[in-house]
Amino acid sequence: MVQEARSLTPEAEYQVSLAEDLALPDGYADLAFSTASFHHWQDQQQGVRQIARVLRPGGVFVLVDILMPLGIGKIHPHGRQTSPATVRSIFAQAGLEVQSQRRVMGWFILVTVGRRREDVKRKS
């Protein structure tokens, strides 16, 4: 995906790392997004805190991830079950205001868009 993005927008800078440990300065980015990996993150709260930290005030985080049907997380080895309410709570705790949240593609994909609040001090 990163190779494709680079070919489509070569003037942009791309960073690839674990969300929980971003090697970027505070307020560095205007936009961050994650697609279909959130359910694999070891520490979702820390990852979202790091993303909020590297966003400039007013910066946007777009999180797109699968919603596993209730109970499937117990038998599915590839991730954890996360509810829309849990994602909203994690965003709020990190200082991100949820601008929109909706389910798409048969309700199995959750898209959450958050904007970093202007007045929030960050802890790594």
The ranges assigned to domains in the chain are 28-116
Instruction: Specify the pairing of strand 55-66 against strand 96-104.
Output: unpaired
Side chain identity at residue 58, one-letter code: G
Residues facing residue 65 across a β-bridge: 110
pLDDT-derived band at 54 (thresholds 50, 70, 90) equals very high
Q: What is the mean pLDDT of the chain?
A: 88
CA proximity to 59, closest of 80, 37, 28, 31? 31
**Is pLDDT above 60 for 122?**
no
Amino acid at 105: M
Which CATH superfamily groups domain 28-116? Vaccinia Virus protein VP39 (3.40.50.150)
47-76 average pLDDT score: 86
- Give the three-state DSSP class for 100: strand
pLDDT for residue 69: 65
Name the nearest CA neighbour of 81 among 69, 92, 64, 93: 69
pTM summary value: 0.83
Averaged pLDDT, 1-27: 91
